[in-house]
Amino acid sequence: MPLNVYKSSAGSGKTFTLVLEYLLLVLKQPGYYRHILAVTFTNKAANEMKSRIITALYILSDEQLSNHKQYKTLVNQLAKRGFNDEGLIRRNASLVFSSILHHYSDFSISTIDSFTHKIVKTFSRDLRLPSVFEVELNDSVLTQEVVNELINKVGSDDYVTTVIIEFILEKLSDETDWRIDRSLRAYAKELIGEEAFLEMNKIDTLEQSDVQSIKNQLTTKIFEISARFISKSSAILKLLNKAGLSPFDLVGKTKGIGLVLIKLSEGEIADVFKGKTILNSFESDNPFIAKSTPQPIKNAFESVAEEVTQNFDEIRESYENFYPRYVLFQLLRKNIYAFVLQSHMLEIIHNLIDKKQLVHISEFNKRLADLLQMSPVAFIYERLGEKYRSFLLDEFQDTSVLQWQNFLPLIENSLASGYENLIVGDGKQSIYRFRGGEFQQFLKLPFIHKLEDRPHLERIENLIKQQYHEQTLDTNYRSSSDVVEFNNDFFEFIQGQLPLQLKTVFEGQRQKVFNDEKCGLVQFDFFISTEGKEIKTLAILERILLLIEKQLNDGYSLNDITVLVSGHHEGDEVARFLSSRNIEVVSADSLLLNSSASVRLSLNLLTFYLLPENKINRLELLVNLMEINPLYFTNGTTEELLFYNDLDEKSQISYIKMKSNWIEQQPGKGLYDITEELLRSIHLDKYPDPYIQFFLDEIHRFQVQEQKGLNAFLDYWKEEGGKKSVVIPEKTNAVKVMTIHKAKGLEFPVVIFPFANRFYRGTTRKNIWLDLRNEEVEKLTSGFVSSTTALSGTAFGYLYEEETEKTKLDMMNLLYVAFTRAISRLYVLADLPMQKNLSYPLIFKEYLQFKELWSDEKLSYVFGDETKSVSNKRLAISDNTRHHDFFISSGWMGRLILADESVIEQKASVTNEDKSYGLLIHEVLSQIVSFETFRNVLSHYESTGYLTNNQVNDFARMIESFRFNSVLEQAFSDGSYVRTETELLNAQGNIFRMDRFVELADRVIILDYKTGKQENHHIRQMENYIEIAKDLQTKPVDGYLLYLNDLINWEMISVS
């Protein structure tokens, strides 16, 4: 059976084809759906695929729907593929439809990350991961954790302390930002990436001495090359001085070659060669003396000319032979602290996995890749292969290298067993390269991209070549004829602008038109303003409003219209402007919480609660309060601000408290309660503000999941708050505002693309990994440098050029996705191009010039006829959304009647006292991972009423006393591999639950807590635990019974 690969374009029925192939497989064998795994890139795409398959099966199974348009389409397409027994189709469709509904878990359609997560959860022990863990999706959260942990080592870890101090001093000497946390976060982000994983596998493990040696080698090499330039330029200056000449007597005077020589002699090597003066001098026949130079100076120079020229020639030779390596070593030197701290950062990441059970999503593919490389026939995939036989991969162009290479054993097993497989993709829609997606994998099929990194995959590549079958989907079923023809023409022009090696991405992009009727519209509007950016932005927003009103007049509804933007900030501007003009808006990522004055005021109040002495925050609080409640300021805002400014700090704080109806908070309140109390104090609870409600949701989520306080929340919000937004149900009859990335795979009758001004602003991938085996830096065989123009002058300049070209392709691909979402109408709003740098406006202008349509006086260009583009109107969605006119918020603490603590203790001791006490001990100790976390756990149980204050104190004393026992000190130490309440199965199928399982470097400790009298069966039970643990691993196992008859005195018994 073949590996079918469909190369498609936008709107060519890619998802329909995948659904059809799925139907072909299951309608021939109704139970086969259990053996199919379909994976795609996003949850939305996976849900869409599921929905389409279920709908298709339902339509095919119902005889009464045989006249349905979709029924006829499906039957005709199935017949073209050789399956034309309509009765059999109906019967089998009914069987599959019913079976999927009754066994939905066997209906395997998911994202590729979800599938990988499923494998990892199932085989976590084999992959050296905790059996229970939390997945971290956000890079910035993980990198911040890593940096915090690293900085916490300062003072306790001599090596880290020395490195961090050196880093700060180097930043200060370079006159750059002395705060190193940003640089460290950037290093950490690079190290968790897939490319770093692939490259670091080529590097031997570096010891601290190795890293110091590398650092010294780089410093020495830079110094040696610098010395060449310094010595020769200094020699020239001495010769000039000997001849009685000043360096400024030479060509160019104070800005010429003389100044260059002075700078070189002072070691300003990079600055000199960034300029053109010295490069022009290299090409000049006489770089020192101009024709207009006075004769006495010429005569004086003549006496040293030969020696000066000789030294200058040596500078030229050093530039040609050594300067490229000088630049390279300087770039490597800038990232030396990434290499220096690499092992420590990776160790922290692994500790986070063990200590907090926090696993970044990128870790899954790395662990799988390691396992697959160690075992040619991985037992994980052997087990999966028993279930899955056919694999359907959608959006293949966005798959990362590791994701594909980890999937290949499954593909190999399937093809070798004679089962069908499918890959669908479109290189033109590859817009996730910044997340690791690699479009070249799709272009290179049937060859495996980066096979040189994984030679064990060569066998699979040969099998794929044998069974590879490629087809092209070349008809556009989505867009109207004028839109399709415009895109055909425009992107053919774009293809001509791409470098030769990337032209293949847009090969075959020209599509056939499904609907030959002439209809559709594409319109470009250019904007220019001499009155500033704000005026121009307002003009574009007003234009969007006019376009929306026009669509409504032409018969479209609000939910037919989508505004596409490049970034969240632009989306927020559009969404807020339209909302202010009473246009309903739905946006998953544009109604940013930080854009709300109410949210900003809430954050100001929280910061004031924590740090009332913060002057900037106090002023922001006052300004936001004036915007929200201007009636509080009877004297006018200007007068009030002037009055406030004249007050001393103590009076300013009192003034803020008065204006905000400040209520002093009682100690012990949680973050959410504090926030609600502050909101009520300034009457933000009087009306239902969606921004405030979503802000409170974020606070509640943070408090529940992170279990941290106000200070931690404010730090979190600084990093992540700018991404949080109000989410409105999609089915609302409203204009959609979304980013181009979110719109991928979707279609809309009318698309408005404002702020189409993206320009080239540096490469997509900020770092480039280099093979350094030929650079004579011992132990450093691979490393990364910043992707900057400086790299272009080195032996690795070709890698920078490749990344530059790929980044430009990323821009074109994003444009392709934006332009191909429209069914009937596409409106593009852009600045009038004023510069020659690569940008969307410049591309639009060059295309219009190519079509001989451009005029400097013309600001609007139309393709098609809007009078014929209303044929795809949709019925407006009925809006059943319930809008609340109140906001429920009240203080609950005043309503509580607290029982006396003695009464609670008396009730707790009356019946089943021993059993309740035992459950309490087990419950609390099961939540304590280490000495570092026990106080947070106890605080949580106290705040929820589970423990009294006296019990908390007793527990704390007991846990602290564990530190003085050598076994318990290890069992509760930070960094150990700990599992509590772990269930294990013995060979007879019996389940045993261990209270605490601790894996150390040299042995395993098992603890079992007891609260009654000592019994012989306790020992037998522990002996069973020990035997089970020995069967699972090879380390020695020590068992201990910990008798806790009260929280003051305890006894521990060893069971050998």
Answer with the residue of higher pLDDT: 944 or 1022: 1022
Residue 884: the pLDDT is 54
Contact 562, 821 (CB under 8 A): yes
Mean pLDDT along residues 68-72: 88
Answer with the residue of higher pLDDT: 1032 or 742: 742
Examine the pLDDT at 297 and tell me if it is beyond 80: yes
Examine the pLDDT at 49 and tell me if it is beyond 70: yes
Tell me the C-alpha distance between 402 and 422, whole Å. Answer: 19
Question: Which tokens go with 954?
Answer: 């007793």
Examine the pLDDT at 740 and tell me if it is beyond 90: yes
Q: Which residue ranges make up each domain of the chain?
A: 3-125+372-473, 215-332, 520-590+732-868, 593-723, 901-1055
Tell me the C-alpha distance between 644 and 659, whole Å. Answer: 11
Identify the band that residue 899 occupies on the pLDDT scale cut at 50, 70 and 90.
Answer: low
Contact 418, 749 (CB under 8 A): no
Q: What is the pLDDT of residues 218-260, one digit of tens each?
A: 989 999 999 999 999 999 999 999 889 999 988 888 888 999 9
Q: Where are the alpha helices (DSSP H) in 110-200?
A: 112-122, 139-152, 158-173, 181-191, 194-200
Identify the band that residue 824 occupies on the pLDDT scale cut at 50, 70 and 90.
Answer: very high
Mean pLDDT along residues 948-970: 88
Side-chain half-sphere exposure of 38, counting CA atoms within 13 A: 30
Mean pLDDT along residues 555-577: 91
Tell me the C-alpha distance between 222 and 229, whole Å. Answer: 11
The CATH number corresponding to 520-590+732-868 among 3.40.50.700, 3.20.20.210, 3.40.50.300, 3.40.50.1220 equals: 3.40.50.300
Hey, what CATH topology would domain 593-723 get?
A: PCRA; domain 4 (1.10.486)
Hey, what CATH topology would domain 3-125+372-473 get?
A: Rossmann fold (3.40.50)
Examine the pLDDT at 858 and tell me if it is beyond 50: yes
Tell me the C-alpha distance between 641 and 635, whole Å. Answer: 10
Instruction: Please give the share of the chain, as a percent, with pLDDT higher than 70.
Output: 89
Examine the pLDDT at 56 and tell me if it is beyond 80: yes
Residues 6+ apart with CB under 8 A from 801: 792
Contact 730, 580 (CB under 8 A): no
Q: What is the DSSP string of 683-730?
A: TTTSS--HHHHHHHHHHHHHHHHH---HHHHHHHHHHHGGG-B----T
**Quick one: how far is CA 373 from the chain centroid?**
27
Return the minimum-mean-pLDDT range out of 169-173, 482-486, 813-817, 937-941.
Answer: 169-173
* CATH topology agreement for domains 520-590+732-868 and 901-1055: no
Return the minimum-mean-pLDDT range out of 601-605, 894-898, 989-993.
Answer: 894-898
Mean pLDDT along residues 525-541: 85
Buried b (16+ CB within 10 A) or exposed e, 710-738: beebbebbeeebeebbbebeeebbbbbbb
Answer with the residue of higher pLDDT: 355 or 62: 62
Residue 139: the pLDDT is 76
Residue 496, burial from CB neighbour count under 10 angstroms (0-12, 13-18, 19+): exposed
Instruction: Give the chain's length.
Output: 1056
Residue 875: the pLDDT is 42
Tell me the C-alpha distance between 549 and 558, whole Å. Answer: 9
Examine the pLDDT at 935 and tell me if it is beyond 70: yes
Return the minimum-mean-pLDDT range out of 80-89, 157-166, 369-378, 842-851.
Answer: 369-378
Hey, what CATH topology would domain 901-1055 get?
A: Trna Endonuclease; Chain: A, domain 1 (3.40.1350)
Examine the pLDDT at 632 and tell me if it is beyond 80: no
Return the minimum-mean-pLDDT range out of 353-357, 476-480, 495-499, 750-754.
Answer: 353-357
Instruction: Please give the share of the chain, as a percent, with pLDDT higher than 90.
Output: 29
Tell me the C-alpha distance between 971 and 965, whole Å. Answer: 10
Examine the pLDDT at 39 and tell me if it is beyond 90: yes
Query: Which residues on adjacent β-strands are paired with residue 390?
Result: 36
Tell me the C-alpha distance between 817 and 742, whole Å. Answer: 10
Tell me the C-alpha distance between 524 and 860, whole Å. Answer: 6
Examine the pLDDT at 375 and tell me if it is beyond 80: no
Tell me the C-alpha distance between 93 and 57, whole Å. Answer: 5
* Dihedral sign computed on CA atoms, order 1008, 933, 183, 606: positive
Residue 873: the pLDDT is 46
Cα separations (Å) of 940 from 696, 706, 943, 1029, 1031?
Answer: 20, 12, 5, 32, 37
Which of 256-270, 453-467, 578-592 has the highest mean predicted lDDT (pLDDT)? 256-270
Examine the pLDDT at 915 and tell me if it is beyond 80: no
Tell me the C-alpha distance between 562 and 825, whole Å. Answer: 11
Q: Where are the alpha helices (DSSP H) in 417-480?
A: 440-444, 458-467
Examine the pLDDT at 385 and tell me if it is beyond 60: no
Residue 33: the pLDDT is 92
Q: What is the mean pLDDT of the chain?
A: 84
Residue 812: the pLDDT is 94
Tell me the C-alpha distance between 305 and 314, whole Å. Answer: 14
* Dihedral sign computed on CA atoms, order 728, 734, 735, 740: positive
Return the minimum-mean-pLDDT range out of 597-611, 705-719, 1026-1040.
Answer: 705-719
Identify the band that residue 611 occupies on the pLDDT scale cut at 50, 70 and 90.
Answer: confident
Tell me the C-alpha distance between 709 and 366, whole Å. Answer: 34
Q: What is the pLDDT of residues 943-955, one digit of tens each?
A: 777 788 888 888 8
Return the minimum-mean-pLDDT range out of 54-68, 262-276, 673-687, 859-873.
Answer: 859-873
Identify the band that residue 155 occupies on the pLDDT scale cut at 50, 70 and 90.
Answer: confident
Side-chain half-sphere exposure of 16, counting CA atoms within 13 A: 16
Phi-psi region of 864 (alpha: psi -120 to 50; beta: other; left: phi over 0): left
Residue 381: the pLDDT is 61
Answer with the residue of higher pLDDT: 363 or 841: 841
Q: What is the pLDDT of residues 306-344, one digit of tens each?
A: 999 999 999 999 999 999 999 999 898 888 877 778 788
Mean pLDDT along residues 647-661: 83
Mean pLDDT along residues 680-704: 82
Q: How far apart are the first and last CA of the chain?
A: 58
Residue 872: the pLDDT is 46
